[in-house]
Homo-oligomer: A and B are copies of this chain.
């Protein structure tokens, strides 16, 4: 089990697709600028996401990326697993002896926890996040950037 900034990059990039992929594909160049992640690093992340069919690429001019499935069919666990490959279960696999059960016991307790976290993240989908964000008026502090923000998001001034 692992959860790092790499996973965060992947999730926010996928959120970007979920939010902006309605009318046509989203280019990595766009995401790069939106999220402040280098283009080439994004390409690496998306290679992993593509391998797990979480995104679908379209080449050529006007191309870009779509979500590989509906947003409510993609869990956070799916995304994290794709880029962080957390198959880090410590079920003392033969090699490492159990040191009288003590090490093995704590490992097994950790595995239980790891499983709980996985199940938790498996239940949260991209669609959930977008939906909850919409409801709770989650946005940045609306102080001075209001006009600019409203212009871009299409709200009336």
Residues of A within 8 A of B (CB): 1-5, 8, 11-12, 15-16, 19-20, 33-36, 76, 88, 90-92, 96-113, 116-117, 120-121, 124, 129-130, 132-133, 136, 138-141, 145, 148-149, 151-153
Q: Is the CB of A2 within 8 A of B1?
A: no
Copies of this chain assembled into the complex: 2
A3, A92, A111, A117 pick with most chain B CB within 10 angstroms: A3
User: Which residue of B108, B116, B136, B152 is within 8 Å of A102 (Cβ)?
Assistant: B152
Q: Is the CB of B140 within 8 A of A92?
A: yes
User: Which residue of B12, B20, B116 is within 8 Å of A124 (Cβ)?
Assistant: B116
Q: Is the CB of B145 within 8 A of A101?
A: yes
